[in-house]
Chains A and B, each alone.
Chain A
Amino acid sequence: MAPIVSVENLEKRFAVSRKRQGARGLLGKLARETIDVRAVDGISFSIQPGEMVGYIGPNGAGKSTTIKMLTGILVPSSGLVRVAGLDPSRRRIELTRHIGMVFGQRTQLWWDLPLRDSFDLLRYIYRVPVERFRVNLDTFVELLDLGPVLDTPVRQLSLGQRMRGDLAASLLHDPEILYLDEPTIGLDVVVKARIREFLAELNRERGVTVLLTTHDISDIERLCSRVMIIDRGHLIYDGSLSAIKERFGDERMLVVDLEEPAPPIDVPGAIVEKVDGPRQWLRFHRSETTAAALIAAVAARVRLRDLTIEEPEIEDIVRRIYGGADPGRAR
């Protein structure tokens, strides 16, 4: 099947003017230099219809710049983008009929008016046939449990209700692709779970392709079979979430319980991270030493009672990647 989104060597450079270093006062005002910032620096990927993809990275990594180029609101500096067979920046208005967008941080609903008014207007904006519109509205109102709040002004809705309203609004024109930007931000666990369930069902029943940016890794763990990580404009990972451990989670923690408290154990290939009475935590890299060799070396120095080996959580790995201090990155 042809990909619904394809991106090749996509680049976006911004010319940013700033004060020349060392120049002060009036001179500083005059002596400005223009520097080229590469917000997106040559990324390529493609997404098949019906995929749910997590797109993550630290703030300023280039996530929203990418999304803006996918929606056509930003023209790429170079590279190729195709979404639903269209060149987004040239066919932006046509493309809007294929895309739904949801922003967790702000609403697209009419703040002062009942929720229903925003929904009804979308029928006119996207020229959805009346019958089709009614079916969609009924379906989403039912699935998202919006019936009781349809006639409530949006400003009186809770964040969870508003978010569900925004989700429904983004889908009434039958988009094939849904971009979600932090859809669960600030929501409690119950609402989060409900929204994730809804998205999974939407994907299953209607085959809607979903591209999700979030800082909540559990959104991705629950929904996405695939995750792309962007950092400083580069796509540094594209694959399954579980495989992140293989790629970046080289680090392990050996936790040993000794017969009696001892000074930090000095063994090659490991660093003692923490000592708590008879228990010590030793950090090591699988690429440098094996667990077996390390245990043997420790056992040769102290008397062991018990031990465990801990794998890092995906969330920890991602946090470390964001911090730029990941051990496994080849760059």
Chain B
Amino acid sequence: MSARATCDAASLYWQVGLRGFRRYATYRAATFAGVVTNTVFGFLRAYVFVALFSGHADVGGYDLSDTLTYTFVSQGIIMAIFLWGWWEIALGVRSGAVVTDFSRPIDYQFYWLAQDLGRSVYHLIFRGIPPFIVGALAFHLRFPQHPWTWLAFALSVELGVCVSFALRFMVNLSAFWLLDYRGVGTIMQAVWTFFSGFAIPIAFFPGALRTVSEMLPFAAMLATPVNVFLEKAQGLDLAAALAFQAGWAVVLLLVGRLMLAAATRKVVIQGG
């Protein structure tokens, strides 16, 4: 690609990202309701951990402050990561609207990825910060010691969004072959709610389950950014953690592209 074309493409996807951000920004009442829900659930989870830690100083390398911080950070980024209930592409497949998207001079996957990144920035700021602040007022939470950690955390969240998007993209594309794509989606949601470390930190998992879970892409969605926030990984370990996320993002996006190519072939030959 020439420099000019690269520049044009970059400005297109930047514009798409902006619109992804603004789409969600129009629904203020929904944002407020979401913040309340995320905060309330944060407290529910926090009190369970407070009970768990009475009599223990350390579980899986986490003390109570780590765990409470883990809880409120994960409550805060959960909407940015968007683990649940995104069916926009699948609905487009059902309605046939996907045909119009296919007939535009855009990269279909990048177009949706750009939109999703824009959305995630909105959700990270407006759904993420308020629950964390409320949590910090009620409990002793651990803030990053190094200023750079904030930047690494933001980067790690967005890499987590890329991994999450790549998986959601594939689940949505399954609508090209499966009548009941929601079934697949529901199973996947259950899988990544558990294996992302959202339900309980992966560090609490026993032995082999923990080892395996830490290598799966689901950990890259949520556990990694939270651990970056907790400064569990620093220096080379931090670079390795980010590379782990980026690696999964690239692999899963590539698999998504293969699926997209197969879906396009199906539409083009069989008419969808």
Q: Which A positions have Cβ atoms within 8 angstroms of B?
A: 12, 14-15, 39, 65, 68, 71-75, 89, 92-93, 96-97, 99, 101, 103, 106, 108, 110, 112-113, 117, 120-121, 124-127, 153
B99 contacts which chain A residues (CB < 8 A)?
68, 73
A153 contacts which chain B residues (CB < 8 A)?
26
Which of A75, A93, A103, A120 contacts B269, CB < 8 Å? A75
A127 contacts which chain B residues (CB < 8 A)?
8
A101 touches B103 (CB 8 A): yes
A65 contacts which chain B residues (CB < 8 A)?
271
* 6 closest A-B pairs by CB: A124-B12, A112-B23, A124-B15, A93-B105, A96-B105, A75-B268
B95 touches A113 (CB 8 A): no
CB distance from A95 to the nearest CB of B (A): 8
Q: Does B100 contact A (CB under 8 A)?
A: yes
CB distance from A149 to the nearest CB of B (A): 16
Which of B11, B268, B270 contacts A124, CB < 8 Å? B11
Among B87-138, those with CB < 8 Å from A are 95-97, 99-100, 102-106
Contacts A71-B103, A101-B103 given; 12 further ones with Cβ under 8 A? A68-B271, A73-B99, A73-B103, A96-B103, A106-B96, A110-B23, A112-B27, A117-B22, A121-B19, A124-B8, A124-B15, A125-B104
Query: A108-B100, A113-B23 are known contacts. Are A125 and B267 too (CB-CB below 8 A)?
Result: no
Which DSSP category, helix, strand, loop or mixed, fits chain A's interface? Answer: mixed
Which of B12, B16, B106, B268 contacts A73, CB < 8 Å? B268
Which of B23, B27, B103 contacts A92, CB < 8 Å? B103
Bound CA–CA A310/B26 (angstroms) = 59
B103 touches A14 (CB 8 A): no
B103 touches A72 (CB 8 A): yes
Bound CA–CA A15/B99 (angstroms) = 20
Which of A39, A68, A96 contacts B104, CB < 8 Å? A96
B12 contacts which chain A residues (CB < 8 A)?
124-125
B15 contacts which chain A residues (CB < 8 A)?
120-121, 124
B271 touches A74 (CB 8 A): yes
B267 contacts which chain A residues (CB < 8 A)?
73-74
Bound CA–CA A93/B107 (angstroms) = 10
Bound CA–CA A80/B26 (angstroms) = 48
CB distance from A153 to the nearest CB of B (A): 7
CB distance from B65 to the nearest CB of A (A): 40
Bound CA–CA A14/B19 (angstroms) = 38
Which of A73, A101, A106, A124 contacts B95, CB < 8 Å? A106
B26 touches A74 (CB 8 A): no
Closest to B270 in A: A14
Bound CA–CA A158/B12 (angstroms) = 29
CB distance from A213 to the nearest CB of B (A): 15
B26 contacts which chain A residues (CB < 8 A)?
112-113, 153
Bound CA–CA A12/B270 (angstroms) = 9
CB distance from A114 to the nearest CB of B (A): 9
Bound CA–CA A124/B268 (angstroms) = 26
Closest to A75 in B: B268
A14 contacts which chain B residues (CB < 8 A)?
270-271
Bound CA–CA A260/B248 (angstroms) = 91
CB distance from A63 to the nearest CB of B (A): 13
CB distance from B93 to the nearest CB of A (A): 13
Closest to B8 in A: A127
CB distance from A10 to the nearest CB of B (A): 14
CB distance from B217 to the nearest CB of A (A): 30
Query: A72-B103, A121-B15 are known contacts. Are A113 and B268 too (CB-CB below 8 A)?
Result: no
A72 contacts which chain B residues (CB < 8 A)?
103
Closest to B98 in A: A73
B105 contacts which chain A residues (CB < 8 A)?
93, 96-97, 125-126
Bound CA–CA A97/B103 (angstroms) = 10
Query: A14-B270, A73-B268 are known contacts. Are A106 and B97 too (CB-CB below 8 A)?
Result: yes
Identify 17 residue pairs between A and B in the complex whose beta-carbon atoms are under 8 Å apart, listed by A's number.
Answer: A14-B271, A68-B99, A73-B102, A73-B267, A75-B268, A96-B104, A99-B103, A112-B22, A113-B23, A117-B19, A117-B22, A124-B11, A124-B12, A124-B15, A125-B104, A126-B105, A127-B8
Bound CA–CA A153/B27 (angstroms) = 12
A121 contacts which chain B residues (CB < 8 A)?
15-16, 19
Closest to B106 in A: A125
A89 touches B268 (CB 8 A): yes
CB distance from A111 to the nearest CB of B (A): 8
Bound CA–CA A155/B27 (angstroms) = 12
B19 touches A101 (CB 8 A): no
Contact with A along B231-272 (1 / 0, CB 8 A): 000000000000000000000000000000000000111110
Closest to B15 in A: A124
Bound CA–CA A117/B96 (angstroms) = 23
B100 contacts which chain A residues (CB < 8 A)?
101, 103, 106, 108
